[in-house]
Homo-oligomer: A and B are copies of this chain.
C-alpha cells in the first residue's frame, strides 16, 4: 500500500522508518508546516527517501519543501493520521481523515482525538466512502486491544478495563517501590522522558479516559443492531480522576494489606470511568513501569488479559502498520 504519513513526531517518524519492512511505501510525509511528496518519476523507487526525511526533520525541523496540503492531495492508498491528539472538534486531525475518506482512500489513526470525540461523524464519513478507518494504535500501544475486542462476537464483550497510561503507571510503581511522594517521582519521570514537561494529559487521567471512550464507542456500536441507535461517547461522558492526589501514605497502607494503587480505566457499552484503584499487588492489573494491560470480560470465554508495551515510536508504528495490513 502507498502511505501518506501526516504527523512527523515519534510515531510518524517510526511509521516512515518501518513501512518498508511491512511491504508498504511512503509516498508523502507532512508535519505542521511542511511536506515531502514523492515525485513518482522512478517507478521502482516511487516512495520518499525515508532516511533522508527523518534526518531532515531532525536537522532542519521540517520534512521537506512542499506544503502540507500537497501531502493530503498526493496519490496514496492509506492516510496515516499521526498528528497530536486534540479534543473537541479534534482538528486538524479530523479534517485530514475526512479528506482521505472523501477521496475514497483509507485512514489509519494513531491520533485519539477524532475517534474519541467525533466517532459518529467518522462513521458517517465511512458510510459515504469506499475507504475504511482503523485505529488500533489509539489504545494500548503495541497491545492489539481494538482488534481483539472487535474479533469477539458483537455483544459478547461486557466490559474492557485496564492500565492504559504508562506515565501514570510508572509514577505509581515508583512511589510504591521507593516510598516517595508524587512530586518527587514526577520529577524523576520527567528527567527520564517518561513524563512531559506538562504532564497533565497523563497524570490527570485524560489520556486513559480518551482510550476508554474509544473502547466504549467500539463496544456500543459493535453491540447495536442498528448503528443509528448506538450511543456515542465523548470525553465529556467519562468520569475521570487522576493520580495527582494519591499520597505516598496510601501506597504504604495498601502494601500492608498486599495491595497497591493503579490508575484503572474501565469502559462498558454504558459507562466510562478512570480512577486510581486498589489492586492486589501481585495481581494481573498491577503491571509495572510503563507497561499497559487490557482486561476483556466476555460472555462465554471468561476474562482475557493482554499486556505489553503501551507506547513508543516502533511499538505504536507496529500497531499502525498492522492496521494497514488488515485493510488489504
A102 to chain B, nearest CB (A): 29
- A321–B151 CB distance below 8 A: no
Bound Cα distance A319, B304 (Å): 12
Interface string of A283-325 (1 = CB under 8 A from B): 0100000000000001011111111110010110111011001
- A144–B148 CB distance below 8 A: yes
- A142–B301 CB distance below 8 A: yes
Interface size class of A (residues with CB under 8 A): 35 or more
A163 to chain B, nearest CB (A): 13
Which residues of B lie under 8 Å from residue A144 when comparing CB positions? 148, 151, 304
- B326–A300 CB distance below 8 A: no
Cβ-based interface call for A152 (8 A):
yes
- A152–B322 CB distance below 8 A: yes
Cβ-based interface call for A147 (8 A):
yes
Complex partner residue of A302 from B22, B315, B321, CB under 8 angstroms: B315
Interface string of A148-165 (1 = CB under 8 A from B): 100111001000000000
With A148-B148, A284-B307 in contact, do A21 and B153 touch (Cβ < 8 Å)? yes
With A153-B322, A322-B153, A326-B151 in contact, do A304 and B307 touch (Cβ < 8 Å)? yes
Cβ-based interface call for A282 (8 A):
yes
Given contacts A22-B153, A303-B309, A304-B307, 16 further A-B contacts (CB under 8 A): A144-B304, A147-B151, A151-B322, A152-B318, A153-B321, A153-B322, A156-B318, A282-B282, A301-B308, A301-B315, A301-B319, A302-B308, A302-B315, A305-B306, A305-B307, A305-B308
Q: Measuring CB to CB, which residues of chain A are less than 8 angstroms from any residue of chain B?
A: 18, 21-22, 141-144, 147-148, 151-153, 156, 282, 284, 298, 300-309, 312, 314-315, 317-319, 321-322, 325-326
Selected A-B contacts with CB under 8 Å, 29 pairs: A18-B300, A21-B153, A21-B156, A22-B153, A142-B302, A144-B151, A144-B304, A151-B325, A151-B326, A152-B318, A152-B322, A153-B318, A153-B321, A153-B322, A153-B325, A298-B318, A300-B315, A300-B318, A301-B314, A301-B315, A301-B318, A301-B319, A302-B308, A302-B309, A302-B312, A302-B315, A303-B308, A304-B306, A305-B308
